[in-house]
Amino acid sequence: MTPANVQDRNGGRLLFAALGERLPLLAKVFADRAYRGPQFQHALAKLRPLLQIEIITCSEQSKGFVVLPKRWRGERTLAWLNRCRRLAEDFENRLR
């Protein structure tokens, strides 16, 4: 987790710097539009030269809500995790 004043691209660099040794078999990353740009691409190429990144975007012609490819996997996983009472902040109470 990063503070609110850290952009996603900068936080992504910190994340891959920390996870570089823990996930040596990671080959491909799917990311949203917040991670586009040459700064993130160059930083990732320095940290993990063999890692491929695919930016998932919606088409410019589409209007309204559009399901983005491969994004539903992340959304589904977060929904499953939010069903767990111990991971949800809404259920935490103090005894006093």
DSSP 8-state code for residue 29:
E
Domain count across the chain: 1
55 in any annotated domain: yes
96 in any annotated domain: no
3 in any annotated domain: no
Q: What would the pLDDT profile of 44-57 be if each residue is shown by its tens digit?
A: 888 888 888 888 77
- Angle at which helix 38-47 crosses helix 8-19, to 10 degrees, equals 10
Taking CA atoms, 78 is separated from 33, 52, 54, 88, in Å, by 19, 23, 20, 11
**First and final CA of the chain: distance in angstroms?**
28
1 in any annotated domain: no
CA dist., res. 40 & res. 1, Å (int): 18
Q: Which of 72, 8, 23, 12 is nearest to 45 (CA)?
A: 12
Q: What would the pLDDT profile of 72-91 be if each residue is shown by its tens digit?
A: 777 788 788 777 766 666 55
Confidence band for 38, pLDDT divided at 50, 70 and 90: confident
Range of the domain at 53: 8-91
69 in any annotated domain: yes
35 in any annotated domain: yes
Per-residue tokens: 52: 């491929």
